[in-house]
Chains A and B, each alone.
Chain A
Amino acid sequence: MGYGHSDLGRPHIVEPVTLKILVAGGFGVGKTTLVGAVSEIRPLRTEEILTEAGRPVDDIAGVESKTTTTVAMDFGRITLREDLVLYLFGTPGQDRFWFLWDELATGALGAVVLADTRRLEDCFAAIDYFERRDIAFTVAVNCFEGADRYPEDSVRDALDLDPGTPVVLCDARERESAKHVLISVVEHAMLASARG
């Protein structure tokens, strides 16, 4: 679909098909690490109006008229082919930035929910969010050194996931492992769309 000028003039320019996958999970669970393991990573800023929810903890005394702030997100790009580009967006970890998620989630192919078995509850909110919006997601358990390993099924039970939702163990630092997680998301999205 083209907007504005449609007179190309430069037919050799390839306009890529672009897709996005979100990377969600609690603070410090390895979102930045995962995005960085498979792609070039850059910070992306979005400037947003502060919500009331942020008020009690956010001291803006003296700057009451300026109720905007910048929120940084991780952003990665994987060029699969010249005409096919996958973008990864790390969702902001703090609850008060949830309003950003709606925009990120629109049109997303799917999502990764990164989990740490030492504090599984940190990813409940993300799971809830994607379940409610019918966005295909894979739960990737980041196997931190020193954390107990649990079989995938016990993680699934603990999170009360739908039977079809994939759970994979991963090491967010490892490129192959991060690739495996992303492939799982796309496969799951494909199945979900086939089911319609």
Chain B
Amino acid sequence: MSGDPERAARWFDDAAGPVVRPYAMTRGRTRSAAEDKLDLIAVVVADSATHRTVADQTLSPEHIDIVELSRDSPQSVAELAAELDLPIGVIRVLIGDLLHAALVRVSRPVPPAELPDERILREVINGLRAL
């Protein structure tokens, strides 16, 4: 890496990877008003009416990718980030835009401060056993 000082300066370290500026995609915004709803496992669903809106010129290609992925089947915030290879902070801002435009819904069935009820936990145990 010493042969390429510019690259070396941008490389943070092996664990952290390169120093990047992914928030360019969000036009510099790092927070979303909807952030508290966008837990990593919150589920994003695109409404059927969004078929027409994907042609919307104000949406970025990444916005459209999110709508299309979550229209085929509900996707968690983490899945969308992994699928589109975008950092979580960026995907949150983008989903926040789509929420604001009413192009997607977000549901979070289990409130963060509570554990799911015993019935669900039993179903998880049975489901794991059956894997």
Q: Which of A's residues lie within 8 Å of B, judged by CB?
A: 1-10, 13-20, 38, 42-48, 57-58, 60-63, 66, 68-72, 75, 77-78, 80-81, 84-87, 89, 92, 94, 103-104, 106-107, 109, 175, 179, 182-183, 186-187, 189-190, 193-194
Q: Are A66 and B21 in contact (CB under 8 A)?
A: yes
Q: Are A106 and B112 in contact (CB under 8 A)?
A: yes
**Which residue of chain A has its CB nearest to the CB of B21?**
A66
Q: Tell me the smallest distance from the CB of B75 to a CB of chain A, in Å.
A: 10
Q: Are B116 and A19 in contact (CB under 8 A)?
A: yes
Bound-state Cα–Cα, A31 to B22, Å: 27
Residues of A within 8 A of B21 (CB): 66, 68
Q: Are A107 and B87 in contact (CB under 8 A)?
A: no
Bound-state Cα–Cα, A175 to B40, Å: 25
Q: Are B127 and A84 in contact (CB under 8 A)?
A: yes
Interface centre among A13, A62, A87 (most CB of B within 10 A): A13
Within 8 A of A (CB), among B8-65: 9-10, 12-13, 15-23, 34, 37, 39-43, 45, 47-49
Q: Are A75 and B45 in contact (CB under 8 A)?
A: no
Q: Are A2 and B107 in contact (CB under 8 A)?
A: yes
- 16 A-B pairs with CB atoms under 8 Å apart are A1-B109, A3-B37, A5-B47, A5-B104, A6-B105, A14-B74, A15-B107, A43-B82, A69-B17, A75-B78, A78-B131, A107-B112, A109-B121, A190-B125, A193-B121, A194-B118
Q: Are B74 and A13 in contact (CB under 8 A)?
A: yes
Residues of B within 8 A of A78 (CB): 127-128, 131
Bound-state Cα–Cα, A156 to B100, Å: 50
Residues of B within 8 A of A19 (CB): 41, 110, 116, 120, 124
Residues of B within 8 A of A45 (CB): 81, 85-88
Residues of B within 8 A of A103 (CB): 40
Q: Which of B's residues lie within 8 Å of A, judged by CB?
A: 9-10, 12-13, 15-23, 34, 37, 39-43, 45, 47-49, 73-74, 76, 78-79, 81-82, 85-90, 99, 102-113, 115-116, 118, 120-125, 127-129, 131
Q: Are A84 and B124 in contact (CB under 8 A)?
A: yes
Residues of B within 8 A of A92 (CB): 15
Which one of B41, B125, B127 contacts A187 once the chains associate, using CB atoms below 8 Å? B125
Which one of B20, B79, B123 contacts A84 once the chains associate, using CB atoms below 8 Å? B123
Which one of A66, A70, A86 contacts B124 once the chains associate, using CB atoms below 8 Å? A86
Q: Are A183 and B88 in contact (CB under 8 A)?
A: no
Bound-state Cα–Cα, A40 to B48, Å: 29
Residues of B within 8 A of A66 (CB): 19, 21
Q: Are A18 and B109 in contact (CB under 8 A)?
A: yes
Q: Are A109 and B125 in contact (CB under 8 A)?
A: no
Smallest CB-CB A-B distances: 9 pairs = A80-B127, A47-B87, A107-B112, A9-B48, A18-B41, A69-B16, A46-B88, A42-B82, A62-B9
Bound-state Cα–Cα, A55 to B10, Å: 15
Which one of B17, B20, B107, B125 contacts A1 once the chains associate, using CB atoms below 8 Å? B107
Q: Are A75 and B82 in contact (CB under 8 A)?
A: yes
